[in-house]
């Protein structure tokens, strides 16, 4: 091979790698906040929640959703049914009656450290922001794979719109940029919601458990579930009794497929090249034969 | 036959087998789990099962109707079935003549005793019991549970017995029931003695399951060897005496005074501590107000109102858990084996024990009337760093005839300028009206609760102690000297402070302090928003102001919306 051919090969290799990088959405890279120093989250203390639903009202105001009626009468009837998040409600509170008493549990997006929805999104519309917020963007194609992948069944699709969107809590990303806490945290009258860095709120959760062993069970939901979430829950009764899934495991959802996916470049690119190389290397070259013949002739 | 036919036949047979198999699998009758038999009313029945000898029973247990037998054998007397000892006292070990307790012997003994008697009666043409297997071992009685509620020999019964006995024989004679076991006596027959001044509860020696100290373990071992559990011992002791006197009473024509039927004692009805308050406690020359002083101890002695504390529990054993002696005889300064290694300080002050002073006091603090304030006040034990010397001095006065109660608290001396009658909280006013609450009324209610409870009255030395229930971080004495009121906002900021996460903000400080107290004290009022502050008419409808602009834009646009969700 001469120099020109060599440079052509190298050059085209670099060019193809560059274009490939530009074109692929990079959806496999759902790491724990690419350059994050701290993740932000909320500690939810279900023993403090009084079911006033001001968090729902504040969330609706802050995000331009229809404002719910949270008068005493409305609360009484609304809290009789178990609700889920909906396209117009990013956070909902449910009432659970247990042996230890009634508990109100606010549920919303858990903002997992390694979200299944971010890994599932084909177009990177679901993104994990550097500081922990899992947000949805307008380049969504409406495939709803994020809904399937969420272990907590949070993202909701606007079936009633012609240009449908996925709706879910975004941890008030817009307010964060203005230096404010999320709307729900600001208005909670009993500080059942506590906002802060995940490290700090985890410490606070552990402190509360250690100082009040009779009041809390010794588990923070979200500390390790599905690889850890940024919404941590404290409870007085076992979590199954207040509507939490206990079968989730501690493996983050994207990690189930990273092994396979990272193997793709190897299998489709490097492996054929390696095989080709070995093939060529072990093949008898014609030049050698001719050379031998020539030698032999002399 | 040709091949095709064979294949066809095989195929059909195979198909039939599959269908039949599936049918069988899907239609398996679920074996019903035997339902837990509801407990029947005992009604003087006894279940004879002896599972400790037989293990799993071949035939169903026998339900023995004691009433029927006692009626039928009135003439012959109890000794027909019951074994009697050398003192002519009835025993309750069945069957009557069995020494070796193995399956065959016991079974034969029962059969001999019961069926022979039935056969005899039947041959005399009298009403007799069954002789056929299945008539006693009834299938329907298989899973019946005969359970009698535990009988509590409370102070009222004890008092009745003491009084009745004095009536009869003119003096107090505790030896009829009380005895102790002299473990050092070699001759077992002479070991059971009565020593005046050592009368105790039967449970100390006869409660076999409990772990005891070295002295008592030797005695309980003997009791266990003789099979004298509290159940057996009390039946033997009580019933024999009752049977003796019952004859007498019946002869005199009086109605049955001493209960001899199971359900007459095992009523399932129990008296509460309050109901037993006025009943005189057993007199054993105990000091009414002893002075507890430990030699070489760091703190001064404590005057202890033993007489009052006797009325605070249903049994002496709640404090005197091992023996009726005083605590310091087993618990000394360094810890003895008699005291299970627990030294005297821990014995009196262990905060979670059921037997110590502080343990019981601590439990009382979680009652409805006290828990409103005491849920936030940390438990003070002798190891906690924040122990105030003044708190120790409340009990450790060092005076032999120290005060056992304090003068009742009163709001009369409070300065109305400093202690406001009504307090208005309007610093957080937004969509609700300012909240007005009856400050003085709350103080008066707390004062009343404190004065009504002897425990509270003793520990709440002055009215400022009560202030610290709500004004919790500043000492009341210091606050009283200031000119400005102790505002919650002096410590609790209104805005969110990301540096100090566990510092409660003002909004939640108010709500958790007030709502928490109302909830723990089970108050009716003050649980809903409107109870404390009504919605302001014409006030703002929005509770937050700064929005997530991008999301609002997305959500507000209704381009090509097909229908609105409900």
The DSSP 8-state label assigned to residue B239 in this structure reads: I
pLDDT of residue A30: 45
Determine the residue of chain A that is closest to B549 in CA distance.
A174
HEC per residue, B458-503: HHCCCCHHHHCCCCCCCCHHHHHHCCCCCCHHHCCCCCCCCCCCCC
HEC per residue, B509-531: HHHHHHHHHHHHCCCCCCCCHHH
Alpha-carbon span A252 to A230, nearest angstrom: 13
Whether B155-265 shares its CATH topology with B423-532 is answered yes
Query: Which residues have CB under 8 Å from A48's CB, separation 6+?
Result: A190, A191, A192, B508, B512
Kindly give the parts of chain B with pLDDT less than 50.
565-566
Q: Which helix (H) or strand (E) holds A163?
A: none
The reply to whether CATH 3.90.10.10 applies to domain B45-141 is yes
Facing B543 at nearest CB: one of A54, A163, A191: A54
CA nearest to B540, candidates A173, A187, A184: A187
Measured CA angle at B341 (ends B339, B343), to 5 deg: 80
Which residues in chain B have their CB less than 8 angstroms from residue A214's CB? Answer: none
Q: Which of residues 242-281 of A touch B (CB under 8 A)?
A: none
Facing A170 at nearest CB: one of B548, B560, B563: B548
Determine the residue of chain B that is closest to A169 in CA distance.
B551
Determine the residue of chain B that is closest to A75 in CA distance.
B528
A174 in B contact zone (CB under 8 Å): yes
Instruction: Pick from A44, A45, A63, A68 the residue to mutate for testing the B interface (most B CBs within 10 Å).
Output: A63
B377 in A contact zone (CB under 8 Å): no
Residues B548, A188: C-beta atoms closer than 8 Å: no
Kindly give the parts of chain A with pLDDT less than 50.
25-36
Query: What digits encode the pLDDT tens for the residues B154-165?
Result: 999 999 889 888
From the options 3.20.20.70, 3.30.230.10, 2.40.50.100, 3.90.10.10, give the CATH code of B423-532.
3.90.10.10
Contact A38, A100 (CB under 8 A): no
Determine the residue of chain B that is closest to A88 in CA distance.
B565
Contact A160, B561 (CB under 8 A): yes
Alpha-carbon span A180 to B17, nearest angstrom: 72
User: What value of ipTM does the predicted structure carry?
Assistant: 0.76
Residues B544, A58: C-beta atoms closer than 8 Å: yes
CA distance B152 to chain A (A): 30
Q: Which helix (H) or strand (E) holds B166?
A: helix B155-169
pLDDT of residue A231: 95
Alpha-carbon span B425 to B415, nearest angstrom: 21
> In chain B, where are the structural domains located?
1-31, 45-141, 155-265, 291-395, 423-532
Which residues in chain A have their CB less than 8 angstroms from residue B549's CB? Answer: 174
Phi/psi of residue A38, nearest 5 degrees: -135, 140
CA distance B269 to chain A (A): 26
Q: Are strands A126-128 and B62-65 parallel, antiparallel or unpaired?
A: unpaired
Alpha-carbon span B323 to B316, nearest angstrom: 9
Alpha-carbon span A82 to A103, nearest angstrom: 13
B428 in A contact zone (CB under 8 Å): no
The reply to whether CATH 3.40.50.1010 applies to domain A40-242 is no
Neighbours of A245 (CB within 10 A): 13
CA nearest to A115, candidates A96, A132, A100, A97: A132
Facing A64 at nearest CB: one of B530, B555, B565: B555
Alpha-carbon span A68 to A31, nearest angstrom: 36
Residues in chain A: 298
Q: Are strands B435-437 and B423-425 parallel, antiparallel or unpaired?
A: antiparallel
CA distance A201 to chain B (A): 8
Which residues in chain B have their CB less than 8 angstroms from residue A187's CB? Answer: 543-544
A73 in B contact zone (CB under 8 Å): no
Q: A142 burial class (0-12, 13-18, 19+ CB within 10 angstroms)?
A: exposed
Phi/psi of residue B37, nearest 5 degrees: -65, 130
Which residues in chain A have their CB less than 8 angstroms from residue B504's CB? Answer: 191
Instruction: Pick from A52, A189, A200 the residue to mutate for testing the B interface (most B CBs within 10 Å).
Output: A189
> b/e per residue, B161-193, with b = 16+ CB within 10 A?
bbeebeeeeeeeebeebbbbbeeeeeeeeebee
Instruction: Pick from B533, B548, B553 the residue to mutate for testing the A interface (most A CBs within 10 Å).
Output: B548
B549 in A contact zone (CB under 8 Å): yes
> b/e per residue, B349-382, with b = 16+ CB within 10 A?
bbbebebbbbbbebeebeeebbbbbbbbeeebee
The DSSP 8-state label assigned to residue B366 in this structure reads: T
CA distance B101 to chain A (A): 46
CA nearest to A57, candidates A82, A78, A41: A78
Alpha-carbon span A115 to A149, nearest angstrom: 9
Query: Which residues have CB under 8 Å from B219's CB, separation 6+?
Result: B181, B183, B205
Residues B565, A175: C-beta atoms closer than 8 Å: no
A168 in B contact zone (CB under 8 Å): no
CA distance A202 to chain B (A): 11
CA nearest to B207, candidates B321, B319, B312: B321
Query: How many CB pairs lie under 8 A apart between chains A and B?
Result: 100
B375 in A contact zone (CB under 8 Å): no
Residues B561, A161: C-beta atoms closer than 8 Å: yes
Answer yes or no: pTM beyond 0.80. Answer: no
Which residues in chain B have their CB less than 8 angstroms from residue A186's CB? Answer: 496, 544
Q: What one-character-per-residue DSSP string does B214-225 give?
A: HHHHHHHHHHHH
pLDDT of residue B158: 92
pLDDT of residue B48: 85
Determine the residue of chain B that is closest to A188 in CA distance.
B508
* Domain B155-265, second-level architecture: Alpha-Beta Complex (3.90)
Q: Which helix (H) or strand (E) holds B544?
A: none
Phi/psi of residue B401, nearest 5 degrees: -110, 55
Alpha-carbon span A115 to A27, nearest angstrom: 12
Which residues in chain B have their CB less than 8 angstroms from residue A125's CB? Answer: none
Q: Which of residues 461-520 of B touch A (CB under 8 A)?
A: 496, 498, 501-502, 504-505, 507-508, 511-512, 515
CA nearest to A244, candidates A222, A212, A216, A229: A222
CA distance A121 to chain B (A): 19
Facing A172 at nearest CB: one of B515, B543, B548: B548
Query: What digits encode the pLDDT tens for the residues A130-154?
Result: 888 999 988 888 899 999 999 999 9
CA nearest to B177, candidates B234, B232, B113, B99: B234
Alpha-carbon span B277 to B156, nearest angstrom: 10
Neighbours of B104 (CB within 10 A): 8
Alpha-carbon span A49 to A153, nearest angstrom: 22
Alpha-carbon span B156 to B271, nearest angstrom: 9
The CATH code for residues B291-395 is 3.90.10.10
Tokens of B506: 């003002």
Contact B171, B286 (CB under 8 A): no
pLDDT of residue A184: 93
Greatest pairwise CA separation for chain B in angstroms: 120
B530 in A contact zone (CB under 8 Å): yes
CA distance B500 to chain A (A): 10
Alpha-carbon span A236 to A229, nearest angstrom: 20
The DSSP 8-state label assigned to residue A65 in this structure reads: P
Query: What digits encode the pLDDT tens for the residues B422-474?
Result: 989 988 888 889 999 899 999 999 999 999 998 999 988 888 888 888 888 77
* Residues A76, A82, A88, A92, CA torsion sign: positive
pLDDT of residue B381: 76
Residues A170, B551: C-beta atoms closer than 8 Å: yes
């Amino acid at each position: 091979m001469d120099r020109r051919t060599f440079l052509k090969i190298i050059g085209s290799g670099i060019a193809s790698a560059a274009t490939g990088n530009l074109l692929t959405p990079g959806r496999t890279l759902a790491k724990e906040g690419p350059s994050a120093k701290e993740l932000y989250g909320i500690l939810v203390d279900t023993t403090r929640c009084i079911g006033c639903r001001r968090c729902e009202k504040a969330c609706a105001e802050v995000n331009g959703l229809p404002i719910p009626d949270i008068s005493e009468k409305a609360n009484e009837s609304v809290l009789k049914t178990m609700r889920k998040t909906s396209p117009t409600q990013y956070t909902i509170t449910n009432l659970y009656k247990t042996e230890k008493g009634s508990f109100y549990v606010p549920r919303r997006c858990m903002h997992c450290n390694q979200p299944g929805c971010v890994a599932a999104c084909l177009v990177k519309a679901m993104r994990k922001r550097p500081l922990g917020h899992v947000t949805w963007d307008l380049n969504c194609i409406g495939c709803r794979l994020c809904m399937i992948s969420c272990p907590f069944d949070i993202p909701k699709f606007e079936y009633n719109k012609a240009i449908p969107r996925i709706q879910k809590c975004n941890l008030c990303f817009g307010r964060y940029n203005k230096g404010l806490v999320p709307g729900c945290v600001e208005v909670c009258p009993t500080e059942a919601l506590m906002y802060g860095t995940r490290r700090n709120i985890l410490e606070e959760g552990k402190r509360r458990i250690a100082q009040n062993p009779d009041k809390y069970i010794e588990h923070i939901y979200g500390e390790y579930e599905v690889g850890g979430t940024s919404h941590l829950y404290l409870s007085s009764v076992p979590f199954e009794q207040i509507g939490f899934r206990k079968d989730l495991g501690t493996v983050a959802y994207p990690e189930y497929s990273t092994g396979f996916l990272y193997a793709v470049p190897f299998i489709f690119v490097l492996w054929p090249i390696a095989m080709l190389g070995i093939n060529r290397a072990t093949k008898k070259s014609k030049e050698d034969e001719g050379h031998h013949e020539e030698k032999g002739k002399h | 036959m040709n091949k095709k036919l064979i294949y066809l036949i095989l195929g059909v047979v195979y198909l039939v087998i599959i269908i039949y198999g599936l049918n069988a699998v899907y239609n398996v009758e679920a074996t019903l789990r035997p339902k837990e038999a509801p407990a029947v009313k005992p009604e003087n029945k006894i279940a004879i099962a002896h599972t400790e000898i037989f293990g799993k029973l071949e035939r169903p247990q026998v339900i023995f109707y004691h009433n029927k037998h006692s009626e039928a054998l009135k003439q012959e007397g109890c000794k027909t079935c019951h074994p009697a000892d050398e003192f002519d006292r009835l025993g309750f070990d069945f069957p009557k003549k069995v020494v070796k307790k193995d399956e065959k012997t016991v079974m034969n003994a029962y059969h001999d005793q019961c069926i022979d008697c039935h056969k005899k009666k039947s041959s005399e043409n009298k009403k007799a019991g069954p002789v056929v297997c299945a008539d006693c071992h009834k299938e329907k009685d298989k899973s019946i549970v005969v359970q009698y509620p535990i009988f509590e020999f409370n102070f009222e019964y004890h008092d009745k017995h003491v009084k009745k006995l004095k009536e009869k024989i003119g003096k107090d004679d505790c030896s009829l029931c009380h005895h102790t076991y002299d473990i050092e006596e070699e001759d077992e027959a002479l070991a059971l003695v009565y020593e005046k001044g050592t009368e105790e509860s039967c449970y100390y020696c006869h409660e076999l399951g409990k772990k005891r100290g070295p002295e008592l373990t030797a005695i309980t071992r003997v009791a266990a060897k003789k099979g004298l559990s509290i159940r057996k011992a009390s039946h033997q002791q009580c019933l024999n005496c009752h049977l003796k006197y019952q004859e007498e009473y019946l002869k005199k024509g009086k109605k049955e005074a001493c209960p001899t039927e199971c359900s007459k004692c095992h009523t399932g009805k129990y008296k509460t501590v309050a109901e037993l308050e006025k009943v005189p406690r057993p007199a054993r020359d105990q000091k009414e107000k002893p002075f507890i002083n430990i030699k070489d101890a760091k703190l001064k002695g404590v005057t202890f109102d033993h007489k009052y504390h006797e009325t605070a529990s249903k049994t002496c054993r709640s404090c005197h858990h091992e023996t009726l002696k005083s605590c310091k005889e087993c618990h000394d300064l360094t810890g003895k084996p008699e005291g299970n290694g627990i030294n005297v300080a821990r014995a009196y002050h262990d905060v979670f024990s059921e037997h110590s002073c502080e343990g019981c006091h601590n439990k009382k603090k979680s009652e409805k009337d006290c828990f409103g304030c005491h849920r936030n006040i940390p438990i003070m034990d002798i190891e906690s760093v924040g122990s105030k010397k003044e708190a120790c001095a409340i009990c450790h006065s060092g005076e032999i005839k120290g005060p056992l109660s304090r003068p009742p608290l009163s709001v009369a001396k409070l300065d109305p300028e400093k202690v406001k009658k009504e307090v208005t909280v309007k610093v957080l006013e937004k969509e609700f009206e300012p909240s007005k609450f009856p400050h003085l009324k709350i103080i008066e209610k707390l004062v009343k609760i404190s004065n009504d409870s002897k425990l509270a009255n003793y520990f709440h030395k002055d009215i400022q102690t009560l202030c610290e229930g709500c004004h919790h971080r500043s000492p009341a004495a210091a606050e009283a000297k200031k000119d400005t009121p102790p505002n919650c906002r002096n410590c609790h900021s209104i805005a969110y402070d990301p540096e100090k996460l566990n510092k409660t903000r003002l909004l939640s400080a108010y709500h958790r302090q007030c709502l928490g107290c109302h909830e723990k004290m089970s108050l009716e009022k003050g649980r809903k928003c409107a109870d404390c502050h009504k919605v302001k008419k014409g006030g703002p409808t929005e509770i937050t102001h700064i929005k997530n602009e991008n999301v609002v834009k997305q959500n507000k646009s209704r381009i090509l919306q097909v229908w609105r969700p409900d």
